[in-house]
Structure 1
């Protein structure tokens, strides 16, 4: 079975995942006993055979997509919030809330290789967030409680940790640019974002987008946007505004806002089709039944559809001819043609949330 055709859908309410084929648009298997998947994410081995599932209960599960079974599973903490896989595929790192810190495992055996308690400069243990992989055998993550960003270099096989302090109040999530150069953390405690240039660590962290954040918005924030949902098209980033019905346009050369696009609700994921021509947007409660499509040239909304209640996540086929959308409260995943916007079919799924295709194995930060 070709692994490049495969993907995994999280079924959050039942602790199960579906293995799907993206070419035939069919479900191949369902695997259970993966624990609490209420905020689960997935990374893939380099050969696309294994999915590493990070559960909210601290479970790290290695799923064999070809044998369609759990290969290995460890409970590595009390509460985890995502993970990453190293550039060479040798290490899997997990970000933890309780106890705070990052643990790094051998991807073959799931044996613990490095344990990094997140003890901040202020002496308190912090939740860790925004964990991503970076070129040069690095992992990067933020300390929510201690306002720090740590870079872990594993090129020598032994961890070398570089720490940056006072990066801004309560970094809550982060992303890495598609080329792996810029690490950007959102700040829950203040407006603005923290940017670290991984090419020039000696320059330290600088603040960008000083008006980005909750500020004095008139709308309640039902859900903070996922920063990994930023869309990049050319030299511009399309960013979900916090507490506003807008998608912001950012010039990535200057890291300044150059525009804003009115949208249906508070955006959560703002995702670019692989060719960068269109951006698809979903929204927070109570307007989470809708998808909108933005033309990246005209900066206009060109299409809108209502797949159903609680559209939580989207994933493009590797070359972008289709997009899959999870509709949690209607127990389905719907597939759309990205040229015609027509619905192709829907697959049944139990409270689906995240959708992860195996081409992510070859993408930095995913």
Structure 2
């Protein structure tokens, strides 16, 4: 009998509890022991990025096991392949791609606790001169996603001045103060960073959200507005030191909340304009000391008709639409907002003066209006936009909102760029077998005059111009990528600068003067 009992006990030891090598791991405990030190106890991020489904869109689930096993080169992510079993790695992948049991909280307490003001803030002075001899208005900021760095590039000599580490996964173009002295970065994980372009130092940082779309800076340099996917909020910061001013919950009259698709500033209107992912509304938030002129003296009407959510400082004007609006851009007067519609059949034109949609435009597929540009054509002004789904650039007359032409390209494009001093517009072919191509379009004839293939087999994208428009800088979107400099008139290559996946480059002068060929 003793032998039988002993045998049964041995069997139980071998088939249950922690002694089993193939037992299903406890996912939360495994995460706490292996991942929490860098990614936070609640997966909200710490030294490493947040590991929540909303924050992992750029890493496909079927690739995540390889990242855990092999690590990520040029980052602090180590390889766990020799430490964890395949089952444990699979358990971690399933865990981080599952929503948490309780919705994560990132409110006033958490935002204020994250605030960092660096010594450079006290040392900075309005009388400071740049610590370099380059033209501060012809600098580029090159965001290198391959190893999460930013390079400050001299636009005249085309040489790097400084390279510094950024927060994880910067998203959206950096936003400059009106003089170009300061720049504000937003990361996917919600970190907002203020950087001094004269002293080349970080001034302040704060974490405004868990998953952030982008940020905008007021034209008077007083405020920074941050739009979040998670939580569903807009966060208003003091531009001087990034301290928290206000949190605005993004909800409709019935309590339905929404992610924020984008937020931009409309300088002549002294307001921020906000696109919402989950509500058929556009919000306009005035930062003027007296918001009445911004809303055309009709504050009372907007309270009743458009749902002015709050009076006093930073009132929210809500413009109802009949479809969702994901991304958008403004006409040069900032009177009209042109955005994509979710129905994939048309775009929408919203007149901000009267507070309603005034036209549908022929934009099928997935127009990337956040990359839209305008220029003078014949006796009118046109807008042009690439398309993330179809191989086409659509040209729209901005007087009557009719399509002038659809230019067929070799595949879907992501970025369209130009400059007022160049006759050409450049559009990439970002998706598909021709992703290594860039088309050059003549703005007078609306014809493709040349197709470049800078590095066969490697993705080309995002062109930006020097201050004078004489040189065009193009990105090779690979970890072993480069910035390729072209003569904007002859289209001949001038120079190559090795970079680690340079996803975007931003010229100070073009940004602060709102060049008609670049995004704002």
Q: TM-score when scaled to structure 1?
A: 0.91
Structure 1 consecutive aligned stretches of length 4 or more whose deviation exceeds 4 Å: none
Distance in structure 2 (CA, Å) of the matches to 1:84 and 1:128: 13
Alpha-carbon distance, 1:337 to partner: 0.7
The CA distance in 1 between the partners of 2:416 and 2:288, in whole Å, is: 33
Do the aligned partners of 1:247 and 1:262 also contact (CA within 8 Å) in 2? yes
CA shift for structure 1 position 29? 0.7
Cα distance change, pair 32–225 in 1 and its aligned pair in 2 (3 A): farther
After superposition, residues 12-23 of structure 1 pair within 5 angstroms as 12-23=145-156
CA shift for structure 1 position 356? 0.9
Partner of 1:226: 368
Q: Deviation per CA, 1:56-113, whole angstroms, max 9, x where unpaired?
A: 1111011122222211111110011112111111111111111122212111110122
Contact 1:269 1:281 in 2 (8 A): yes
CA distance in 2, matches of 1:35, 1:275: 35
Distance (Å, rounded) in 1 between the aligned partners of 2:389 and 2:166: 36
CA contact (8 A) 2:416 2:462 kept: no
Aligned to 1:75: 207
Query: Is structure 2 residue 450 aligned with structure 1 residue 295?
Result: no
> Which residue is equivalent to 1:220?
none
Question: Do the aligned residues in 2 keep the contact of 1:212 with 1:242 (CA within 8 Å)?
Answer: no
What number of residue pairs does the alignment pair up?
Answer: 352
Larger Rg: 2
Q: CA deviation at 1:277?
A: 2.2
Structure 1 position 340 matched with structure 2 position 472: no
What are the Cα deviations for residues 233-273 of structure 1, in whole angstroms up to 9, with x where unaligned? Answer: 11111222453222111100011112111222112212222
1:168 aligns with 2:323: yes
Deviates more, 1:15-24 or 1:117-126: 117-126
Q: Structure 2 vs 1, CA of residues 181 and 336 (structure 1 numbering), >3 Å: closer, same or farther?
A: same
Q: Is 2:333 aligned against 1:182?
A: no
Give me the whole-angstrom Cα distance separating, in 2, the residues matched to 1:121 and 1:276.
Answer: 48
Structure number with greater CO (CA < 8 Å, separation at least 6) is 1
Name the residue aligned to 1:131. Answer: 263
**Structure 1 residues 201 and 41: CA distance shift in structure 2, 3 A:** same
Counterpart of 1:219?
none
Residue in structure 1 matched with residue 502 of structure 2 by the alignment: 352
Question: Matched residues in 2 for 1:28 and 1:337: separation?
Answer: 22
Match of 1:143 in 2: 276
Unaligned runs of 5+ in 1: 215-223
Alignment of 1:8-47 (within 5 A): 8-37=141-170, 39-47=171-179
Give the structure 1 partner of residue 405 of structure 2: 259
TM-score for the superposition, normalised by structure 2: 0.65
Q: Name the SS for the 2:414 alignment partner.
A: strand
For residue 345 of structure 2, what is the aligned residue in structure 1?
191
Distance in 2 between residues matched to 1:167 and 1:98, nearest whole Å: 25
Distance 2:340 2:387 in 1: 11
Name 1:117's counterpart in structure 2: 249
In structure 1, C-alpha distance between the alignment counterparts of 2:423 and 2:158, rounded to whole Å? 24
Q: Would you say 1:275 and 2:407 are equivalent positions? A: no
Distance 2:329 2:428 in 1: 18
- The answer for the alignment partner of 2:512 in structure 1 is 361
Question: Counterparts of 1:200-215 in structure 2 under 5 Å?
Answer: 200-202=353-355, 204-209=356-361, 211-214=362-365
- Given that 1:84 and 1:92 are in contact with CA atoms closer than 8 Å, whether structure 2 keeps it comes out as yes
Q: Which residue matches 1:217?
A: none
- Alpha carbons 1:225, 1:269 under 8 Å: kept: no
Find the partner of 1:326 among 459, 465, 475: 475
Residue in structure 1 matched with residue 183 of structure 2 by the alignment:
51
Distance apart, 1:190 and its partner CA: 4.0
RMSD: 1.8
Give the deviation of 1:208 after TM superposition.
Answer: 1.6
Q: How far apart are the structure 2 equivalents of 1:181 and 1:166?
A: 17
Alignment match of 2:222 (pick from 66, 85, 90): 90
1:195-253 Cα offsets, whole Å, 9 max, x none, are 2222x234x123421x4222xxxxxxxxx553132121111112224532221111000
- Aligned with 1:41: secondary structure? coil
Aligned partner of 1:310 in structure 2 is 459
* Greater strand fraction, Structure 1 or Structure 2: 1
Deviation at 1:194, TM superposition (A): 2.2
SS of 1:267's equivalent in the other structure is: coil
Give the Cα separation in 1 of the matches to 2:464 and 2:197. Answer: 18
User: Residue 45 of structure 2 corresponds to which residue in structure 1?
Assistant: none
Aligned match for 2:385, one of 227, 239, 245: 239
Q: 1:225 to 1:318 in 2, by over 3 A?
A: farther
The whole-number CA distance in structure 1 between the counterparts of 2:387 and 2:142 is: 27
Q: Does structure 2 retain, via aligned residues, the 8 Å contact 1:232–1:276?
A: no
